[in-house]
């Protein structure tokens, strides 16, 4: 399958290209050993780096990087609202402002207006395939929160923009991982439930998910 990322901005193509998620892992994860000694237990324990579901989530899809420096300052105004004062290095990527009332979720004691970050990339997938757009998994950015969304990228012919809010004054640097894009095939599903008395054996080092159940995924 082929997913296309198309941009009219040559500077972005040259300097901030889309990358497979497996090549843009969070630094804390890259630096983490597969096993680590626990002093309270007095033994070596496996870390999350040995967890295949976590690794699959981290390495699925592709990363869109922020195309320019965006300096956002929070400013309290009348009516218990918080406005966003924004400066950008490249004016074509000035975030849109969205009123609090459009999604009235309070992130703090104040009513903070939303921002919508611009995306330099048009994403195209084959017929029948959509994309999940989420903030990069396990990046744990304490200052920026983006809303997730699913877009039918086989028919939608505009760049997907990314709504969210900042927790405190923050500069989103050019090149920062901004959004993880995970393509998937659309299917119709029907839910069912059933009772079973069959017991599933616990995982051990001899009976591991990675060896017995895991299927390799490729996002190149």
Lowest mean pLDDT among 17-26, 95-104, 110-119: 95-104
Nearest to 69 by CA among 192, 175, 194, 188: 175
The encoded tokens of residue 26 equal: 């969070």
Interval 32-73: pLDDT, tens: 998 888 777 778 888 899 889 999 999 999 999 999 988 877
Helix (H), strand (E) at residue 11: helix 10-15
Q: Are 164 and 139 within 8 A, CB to CB?
A: no
Closest CA to 123 of 89, 165, 162, 177: 162
Average pLDDT of the chain, as a whole number: 86
**More confident call, 75 vs 174:** 174
Residues across the chain: 220
- Give the per-residue pLDDT at 205: 53
Sketch out the chain's domains with CATH numbers.
4-17+63-185 (2.70.40.10)
Q: Is the pLDDT of residue 210 over 50?
A: yes
Hey, CA dihedral for 183, 136, 162, 20, is it positive or negative? negative
């Amino acid at each position: 399958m082929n997913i296309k990322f198309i941009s009219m901005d040559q500077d972005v193509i040259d300097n901030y290209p889309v990358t497979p998620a497996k090549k843009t892992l969070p630094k804390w994860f890259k630096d983490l050993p597969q096993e680590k000694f626990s002093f309270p237990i007095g033994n070596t324990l496996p870390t999350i780096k040995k967890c295949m579901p976590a690794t699959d989530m981290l390495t699925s899809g592709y990363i869109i990087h922020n195309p320019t420096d965006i300096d956002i300052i929070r400013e309290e105004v009348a009516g218990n609202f918080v406005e966003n004062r924004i400066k950008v290095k490249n004016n074509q990527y000035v975030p849109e402002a969205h009123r609090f009332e459009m999604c009235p979720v309070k992130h703090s004691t104040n009513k903070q207006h939303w921002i919508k970050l611009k995306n330099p990339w048009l994403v195209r997938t084959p017929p029948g395939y959509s994309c999940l757009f989420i903030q990069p998994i396990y990046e744990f950015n304490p200052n920026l929160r983006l809303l997730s969304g699913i877009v039918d990228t086989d028919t939608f012919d505009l760049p997907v923009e990314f709504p969210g809010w900042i927790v405190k004054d923050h500069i989103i640097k050019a090149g920062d991982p901004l959004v993880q894009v995970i393509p998937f095939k659309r299917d119709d599903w029907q839910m069912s439930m059933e009772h079973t008395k069959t017991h599933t054996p616990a995982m051990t080092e001899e009976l591991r998910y990675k060896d017995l159940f895991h299927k390799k995924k490729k996002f190149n």
